[in-house]
A and B are shown apart, each in its own frame.
Chain A
Amino acid sequence: MGIVSTFRHTAAAAGLAACAALISTSVQAAGEAKDPENQDWHFEGIFGTVDRASAQRGLQVYLEVCSGCHGLKQVAYRNLAELGFTEAEVKAIAAEFEVEDGPNDDGEMFFRPAIASDRFASPFPNEQAAKAANNGAAPPDLSLQVKAHPGGADYIYALLTGYEDPPADKELSPGLAYNAYFRGNAIAMPNPLFEDGVEYTDGTQATVEQMAWDVTNFMQWAAEPTMETRKQIGFKVVLFLIILTAILYAAKRKMWSNVDH
């Protein structure tokens, strides 16, 4: 009974808070977030496709820099074949991750190297562990981040390249970094990208901008892996519909030509 009533209390409080948020919706944080600049992406437009070379490098950035903190749980290793990786490469990438499996015949859970059909293993077993390791802010799963922010890829790129020294009048709590594009301008993610932070296997110079660009292209693909199929089918469907509409319209004109209306 006691538990229920406390629970009820919290629920009511949450409801009130939500309503307060509703009535005066702007919970204006100290710093207004800067709008991300518009970039020219290869995947934009109705014929846009994934820049595979860039997305492949982006995977490398993800694996070497981001995957220590961020999961990618909606993507399976086998999906990487769509980016042009061979079956052997996919297996090798998967094998670097450990996933929990079981129970085995002795009733024990055990860890084994991931295989192609597994989905990307997350770095932390649960949200609490993720928070505990990151100053109380859990790093979000990156599978859908591009679709989850207004500005999409432009925002991700701006965020990753937007770390700078805080202005003189800005006090930052410990563990927070200054980033003009982030809501409130103070982010719990330390600047993840440094010049030559990765050594690209294809020899590309790993500037901060290059790495941010590549990992954003990779995250865009991860968020919307069916994009190319969608646009290809869409082109045919819309073309068909335009022609159909035109034919129907011509037929309608003909049919109606002998009636006054």
Chain B
Amino acid sequence: MSAGTHQSGGMGTGVVKWIDSRLPVFTYLQKEYAEFEAPRNFNWFWNFGAILTFLLVMMIMTGIFLAMQYQPNTALAFDSVERIMRDVNYGWLLRYLHANGATFFFIAIYIHIFRGMYYGSYKAPRELLWMLGVVILLLAMATAFMGYVLPWGQMSFWGATVITNLFSAIPLVGDSIVTLLWGGFSVDNPTLNRFFALHYLLPFLIFGVVILHVIALHVTGSNNPLGVDPKGPQDTLPFHPYYTMKDSVGLAAFVTIMAAFVFFAPNFFGEPENYLEAAPLNTPAHIVPEWYFLPFFAILRSIDFDILFIEAKLGGVIAMFAAIFVLFVLPWLDRSPVRSAKFRPVYKWFFWIFLINAVILGYVGGKPTDAPVFSGVEGFQIIHLGYITTFWYFAHFLIVIPLLGIFERPKPVPKSISEAVLGGGAAGTTATAKPMEKA
């Protein structure tokens, strides 16, 4: 069979052409990553997609090598992690990369999400792109939660016990769900086995959703700091070499910071008590999840009162999940026609208040509920701060954002990216402005 009939379709020469005319992977890469036109005005916050992709690959690679030595059995798991740390060549490096990689994955994903919130990247036509991102966040949380159980330390065990127990609050089916998660009547060997199996699986699902996320991105094109769609070639740059170069800089800087932790303070983000082997009869005084769950943990604990017929425990669980699910509907809660907070004088303030509020929620999640917030002021406890910040978290999405869409007066939006970037109106751009960007 001659390849002659296909020749017109393939790019390149030789083997590349032979393959490309049958399976156009090179054409695809060329189109989506080299020629792909990206707005010329990205700032450094547009680096985090590339950083997250790198981290996901790193997590999968270190994870697979860890899995070759790890033993998912309650009698062996803790010691097998120590064998990795001590006896496996560079095992300590694999494990510290993986444990710190999870932390930096969440640092990157949170920055990525806040970036989207500031510049309105969730708005039409990028709603599905945004929702796929929220799916990735959910899957990453499930993955990290189950991964944290694997080393079978005290926090692994008690964190798993507390969090899985939450599902028992669900009416009717709650107990069955918990039994199913546990594979028995408490967190035990079957739990560890299934968590390991799922912890191995979920990152590959994440990878699949990331591919969908990128496909959706390449349909709508990227948003940018002005929130104004590119009108033509004067507004964009080819992704390669301009953004491959810029992404490399951001990635190298990010990896430098991560490496500093991996090599010089590898347990900085860890909970010391997880270096004690799980002891089902010995409850730690203080059960705290990993830092990246703390804001949601705070919301969970803040609902410590019954709401009508909903018991406190169920209410807390609902609130915790609602805190993430509200992100799915954000594109429809925000009615403002302007994307970027640059041109939204009021929203801008509320964005920063929301960010600070989220950080305080994280702080609340890490403290005992009855501790005083300010030493000396006994009446004002962490739980009270939790009520306020939890209320504000939801008020931001459900009250502030919809109202701003109606009452806020946005500043004039530049007609095009090149106009804003080049100072004067670049020739030929004004006429093509679409109604979407007019405030």
Chain A interfacial positions (CB closer than 8 Å to B): 4, 7-8, 10-11, 14-15, 17-19, 21-27, 29, 46, 74, 79, 140, 143-144, 147-150, 152, 183, 223, 225-226, 230-231, 233-235, 237-238, 241-242, 244-245, 248-249, 251-252, 255-256, 259-261
Q: Which of B201-209, B211-219, B257-265, B353-361 has 4 or more CB atoms under 8 Å from chain A?
A: B257-265
- The docked-state distance in angstroms from the alpha carbon of A27 to that of B285 is 6
Interface of B is mostly: helix
Q: Which residue of A is nearest B241, CB measured?
A: A255
**A208 CB → nearest B CB, Å:** 25
Q: In the complex, which residues of chain A have a beta carbon less than 8 angstroms from the beta carbon of B421?
A: 260-261
Q: Which residue of B is nearest A147, CB measured?
A: B275
12 residue pairs from A and B, CB less than 8 Å apart: A15-B168, A18-B162, A21-B287, A24-B369, A46-B264, A150-B272, A183-B285, A234-B263, A237-B259, A238-B259, A252-B248, A259-B242
A260 touches B263 (CB 8 A): no
Q: Which residue of B is nearest A227, CB measured?
A: B92
Interface of A is mostly: helix
Other A-B contacts than A251-B245, A259-B242, 4 sampled, CB-CB below 8 A, are: A147-B275, A148-B275, A152-B272, A225-B86
**B287 CB → nearest A CB, Å:** 6
A8 touches B185 (CB 8 A): yes
B264 touches A231 (CB 8 A): yes
- The docked-state distance in angstroms from the alpha carbon of A230 to that of B93 is 8
Given contacts A7-B185, A241-B255, contact A23 B369 (CB under 8 A): yes
- The docked-state distance in angstroms from the alpha carbon of A22 to that of B289 is 11
B67 within 8 A of A: no
**A245 CB → nearest B CB, Å:** 4
Q: In the complex, which residues of chain A have a beta carbon less than 8 angstroms from the beta carbon of B422?
A: 260
Q: Which residue of A is nearest B418, CB measured?
A: A260
B12 within 8 A of A: no
A230 touches B266 (CB 8 A): yes
Beta-carbon contacts under 8 Å, B254-280 to A: 255-256, 259-260, 262-264, 266-267, 272-273, 275-276, 280
**B276 CB → nearest A CB, Å:** 5
- The docked-state distance in angstroms from the alpha carbon of A251 to that of B418 is 24
B82 touches A238 (CB 8 A): no
A74 touches B79 (CB 8 A): yes
B273 touches A231 (CB 8 A): no
Q: In the complex, which residues of chain A have a beta carbon less than 8 angstroms from the beta carbon of B266?
A: 230
A226 touches B86 (CB 8 A): yes
Q: In the complex, which residues of chain B have a beta carbon less than 8 angstroms from the beta carbon of A245?
A: 249, 252-253, 256
